[in-house]
A = this chain, B = another copy of it.
Amino acid sequence: MNHQPRKPVTARGERTRCKLLDAAEREIGESGFHTASVSSITRRAGVAQGTFYIYYSSKEEILRELVENIGRTLRASLNDAIDGLTDRIEIERQGLLAFLEFAVRNKNLYRVVLESQFIDEAIYRDYYLRLAQAYTAKLQQAQQAGEIRAGSSAAQAWALMGIANFLGLRYSVWEGRLPPDDVIETALAFIRGGLSPD
């Protein structure tokens, strides 16, 4: 009937909304979307359960906002990592590392993103396509500069993301640490030269 989550207009409201978002991030990240309940989120945020619905119309909505924020942050840190660089090899290394570091530092957020696809595919798809777009743009520039093999840069981007994602899943989410150097080197060698012997 009455789903109109307000953007808060006072400072106090802003603070409450923030507390809720933080609490949701931690709760959903630690326990997963289905195990986390609105009640556990508000308990953690230190507000009444009803307060939740002043700012979010449903548990799904806060997930959406969470994933959007994560996407923004991740894209930003990718850009930051690569921005000033000119050496192609360094760019690859820093890009991959930025992604992995984000996954390690934000292990829980990373899981939230992955899980979102089972709650509402649209959330995840949006996150994903935007990230892929960012990669694709970089790769197109590099292609035009003749630095990398020609081909569908979108497919290349997906391949790159697949690798980063999988190393991220294994090392950060499952083992909670950055991949050891030899794994990174192997992955980078793979990215640069594929599997063919030189």
Q: Are B163 and A159 in contact, CB atoms less than 8 angstroms apart? A: yes
Set B146, B162, B183, B193: member contacting A194, Cβ < 8 A: B193
Q: Are A183 and B152 in contact, CB atoms less than 8 angstroms apart? A: yes
Is A68 located at the chain interface by the 8 A CB criterion? no
Chain B residue at smallest Cβ distance from A92: B195
Is A161 located at the chain interface by the 8 A CB criterion? yes
Give the docked Cα–Cα distance between A164 and B162 (Å).
8
Q: A interface, by DSSP: helix, strand, loop or mixed?
A: helix
Set B114, B187, B197: member contacting A159, Cβ < 8 A: B187
User: Could you name 10 residue pairs across A and B whose Cβ atoms are closer than 8 Å?
Assistant: A1-B35, A2-B37, A2-B39, A139-B195, A149-B189, A152-B186, A155-B190, A158-B170, A159-B186, A189-B194
A residues apposed to B, CB below 8 Å? 1-2, 32-35, 37, 39-40, 92, 111, 114-115, 117-118, 121, 125, 139, 142, 146-152, 154-156, 158-159, 161-167, 170, 174, 179, 182-183, 185-187, 189-198
